[in-house]
Amino acid sequence: MNLANLLIRAGRSRREGPAVAVGEAVLWRYGELADRAARLAGTLRTRFGLGPGERVALVMRNCPEFLELVYACWHAGLAAVPVNAKLHPLELKYILDHSGARLCFATPELAAVLEAESAGLERLVEVIDAHAPAYRDLLRGEPIDLVPRGPDDLAWLFYTSGTTGRPKGAMLSHRNLMAMTLCYFADVDGIAPGDCILHAAPLSHGSGLYGLPHLAAGVCQVIPEGGGFEPAEIFALLPRHPGLTMFAAPTMVKRLVDHPAVGEADTANLKTIVYGGGPMYLEDLRRGQERFGYVFAQIYGQGESPMTITALSKADHADTAHPRHAARLASAGRAQTAVEVRVADAEDRPLPPGELGEVLVRGDTVIPGYWDDPAATAAALQGGWLHTGDLGVLDEDGYLTLKDRSKDLIISGGANIYPREVEEALQSHAAVQECSVVGRPHSEWGEEIVAFVVPRSEAGVSADALDAHCLERIARFKRPKSYRFVAALPKNNYGKILKTELRAWAEKAEQDAP
């Protein structure tokens, strides 16, 4: 099983069909894309001497080269390591080091940064600017035959933030991603000839993963000219691309609905918006349906079971006559076809419908483990089930409603942020005695980060100083949006910080603000 076979298949059966477009213009057709990937694969094997299973990092903003490089890696029997391009240079350096990548492709604004960071690694990592002439030289080699891979061989090393403050590498196998692909057709949406997918969300995450079912269907993958999410650009592209699907975080849906151009936009070609990555407020969903119609489908997944735990179909969204329609809209849907989902107590015993517990998952989409982290693997997969850390309730019909996140994960603008990571950055400031970070509800971003800080002395420390300190250590989107200076943090008898109380403080401070 090698996922690159999906591209070979499309290259034969859909040779002249559009494969990749930038803005309105088709850049490559499937025959050409398959040939480019095979040539790049040959160069990766011969010029760089990479063998089966070795890792290639892709630190890239959305661009066509990302797509052909992922397929080229698989064609050559390699594993891709797509990395969030918004991360701090120190975070990027950690991932290059931890993954053992020997080669890294980057977009121009990141290539120089990565070259500087990789110079400090013990192992040589060659960085290639994917938009430079040298990259085009890589396509001049001879194409090679597909390198066979086993179902459990590593395909995509997905780095997800961890509660320890260091990201963990979720090992997504060819089996995992094939099961995810088939679940898309079974549980999320159908794809017809002539459809397309618009990649306005990062290709390194959910949007890139959903490129796979669209590749399997042989339809066009569209990348905005700006490379990211800009509502005005999306509205301009909609009339040009029929049967359009896009993956969006709830905050992106809200920005589309609130944009001034929405009233005049021609959205007839908008087929599906798959949303996930954070809570969707019911009122925002209803406003979206009023404007765009019943085009919405929801997925709930994690990096450890990519895009595939539960799904709430477009039919569920449209079934307004159902007596529990509102409750279903507030749920995350039913277990997807390739997985089992249960809600369990602290001893992993399944709980009956209506009782709150941790969400557990098992099936062919669940990772075999974390890269070079047996302790984290054992903890996450104990008893053969993925322990999501999310708390939820199943109803009698199998619909899962998420209630809370036991791991204190903050989701802001669709991005996962673990408080420990931010706390470690703050704690390294000499003027900080103690700190704790929580999420506070935010109407646009879903949640925003609030930091409670106990200064070491009466002289204190300014919010600006802490902000600058964080920007030197973590990505901009992870830094706190608000700082609250307190004399002490609330704790229980065992000395554990009471984050529930801190969240209440944060919400009250927001309500009391002028």
Whether the CB-CB separation of 319 and 296 falls below 8 Å is answered with no
Q: Give the pLDDT band (50/70/90) at residue 498.
A: confident
What is the reported pTM?
Answer: 0.87
Encode pLDDT of 126-173 as tens digits. 999 999 999 999 999 899 999 999 999 999 999 986 444 688 999 999
Q: Which residues in 233-289 belong to E strands, given as ranges?
A: 244-248, 270-275
pLDDT digits (tens, 9 = 90+) for 197-210: 999 999 999 999 99
Question: Which CATH fold would you assign to the domain 410-512?
Answer: GMP Synthetase; Chain A, domain 3 (3.30.300)
Chain centroid, CA 4 distance in Å: 21
Secondary structure class of 15 (helix, strand, coil) = coil
CA atoms of 362 and 181, how far apart (whole Å): 16
What tens digit of pLDDT does each residue of 372-417 get? 999 999 999 999 999 999 989 999 999 999 886 666 778 888 887 8
Nearest to 314 by CA among 326, 290, 296: 296
Domain 1-16+29-149: give its CATH code.
Answer: 3.40.50.980
C-alpha to C-alpha distance for 135 and 47, rounded to whole angstroms: 13
Looking at the DSSP bridge assignments, the partners of residue 359 are: 343
List CB contacts of 7: < 8 A, sequence separation 6 or more.
30, 33, 34, 37, 71, 75, 215
Q: What pLDDT digit, counting tens, does each position of 235-281 carry?
A: 999 999 999 999 999 889 989 999 999 999 999 999 999 999 877 87
Q: Are strands 103-106 and 55-59 parallel, antiparallel or unpaired?
A: parallel
Torsion, CA 41, CA 43, CA 47, CA 51, rounded to 10:
10
How confident is the model at residue 164, as a pLDDT? 46
Q: What is the mean pLDDT of residues 431-440?
A: 92
Q: Which amino acid is at 361?
A: V
Provide CATH 3.30.300.30 ranges for the chain: 410-512
Ranges of CATH 3.40.50.980 domains, the chain: 1-16+29-149
